[in-house]
Copies of this chain bind each other. A is one copy, B any other.
């Protein structure tokens, strides 16, 4: 018995048959005595078809119009899902992001949720309806439709769960939980029955592709219990909760790999205070997220600044840097698109010295060169050559004996 928010990804509602299956799952949960809100992504291929149409018209669509177009994908899936649930005899209503009152800023295609005015949602729940919410989208205070960017539906689900104070937020996806690493890369990967918000946050940011980091961030902030489950089977999945609630605190709980970043270097800038901040403030203004950063003084008193950004921001980042040539007085720019970031994550790391060293050792044994290193209390990341990524993940996974975790319990 409780108020449950579920989230179904695009694959889970990829065709009429799958939509009916999800409808059944939701209705079952409702009939067990729960209130259910389901957040849904666009059907598998629809977004791609829309993007193809755009390509026939322009290479440079205004982002506002792009959001207007792309947001139709979820509107289609939520209304179809509502029809399927109605067919099963339950009271149901679908709502778009704007109808739910998901207010965002106006950074189109990458909008951030500012507030959820949940009156409508609560009214429908009080009338004992199942509510289907379009993920990934919101609306500015000027009534323009926005989208939240990649993984946005996860964020919608967690934000909605927060707004209505849900007991649990279940993320249904095409994998059945969070693994020690990508099972497509390392066959011996093990599913984790539970993990802390912090570890999940690092794994999410590192490209584990299960949950969007922003959604984990919000869940952590408002202490919303998360579960990652498969929409195709009935395994218990992985629960994500506070560290103190975990049963075990293992040193390294996962190895992640992200091939979606690009390395940029600004070479030969004067060794003066404020140069780096100029670069990163400008990038922040353009809503470009910078990931790893290193800066080192070279022999002749000039600086090199090296950092990574998402591949999709590469073009824009390059343009920003080129436009700043006079201001920064750099000697040259260099780019490396052929990189991958391999990381280990674990809440127990902070109290176990030598974890990073073991990771470096694993890479050295494979003759893999490390380009950049970045660490946090519960994470170590290394930038390496992209074609060595799988080899590195396998070596590290086996170095930390993650295949022997014995935590698989279903």
Contact = CB atoms under 8 A, between A and B. Distances in A.
Contacts of A78: 68
A99 interface: yes
A75 B76 contact: no
Interface of chain A, helix or strand or loop or mixed? helix
B72 A76 contact: yes
- By Cβ-Cβ distance, the 7 closest A-B pairs, closest first, are A16-B56, A69-B79, A72-B72, A68-B79, A58-B87, A61-B83, A65-B79
A353 interface: no
Interface string A38-69: 00000000000010011011101110111011
Nearest to A72: B72
Contacts of A120: 143
A19 interface: yes
A294 to B, nearest CB: 40
B68 A54 contact: no
A287 to B, nearest CB: 20
A386 interface: no
Count identical subunits in the complex: 2
Contacts of A17: 56
Contacts of A99: 143-144
B75 A54 contact: no
A86 interface: yes
A93 B144 CA distance: 10
A109 interface: no
Given A60-B87, A68-B75, 9 more contacts: A65-B83, A65-B94, A68-B78, A68-B82, A68-B94, A69-B80, A72-B76, A75-B75, A99-B143
A229 interface: no
A281 to B, nearest CB: 29
A54 B80 CA distance: 7
Contacts of A96: 68, 145
Contact of A57 (B56, B58, B83, B93): B83
B143 A57 contact: no
A84 interface: yes
A20 interface: yes
A19 B57 contact: yes
A130 B405 CA distance: 62
A91 to B, nearest CB: 10
Nearest to A99: B143
Nearest to A50: B76
A72 B43 CA distance: 14
A16 B57 contact: yes
Contact of A69 (B56, B66, B76, B86): B76
Contacts of A65: 79, 82-83, 86, 93-94
Contacts of A64: 93
Nearest to A91: B62
A16 B54 CA distance: 8
Given A69-B75, A72-B72, A120-B143, A82 B62 contact: yes
Interface in A277-318: none
Interface string A4-27: 000000000000110110000000
A65 B23 CA distance: 15
A79 B94 contact: no
A75 B84 CA distance: 23
Nearest to A101: B143
Nearest to A134: B68
A56 B80 CA distance: 10
Contacts of A86: 58, 61-62, 65
A94 to B, nearest CB: 6
Interface string A198-217: 00000000000000000000
Contacts of A58: 83-84, 86-87
A119 B19 CA distance: 39
A27 to B, nearest CB: 14
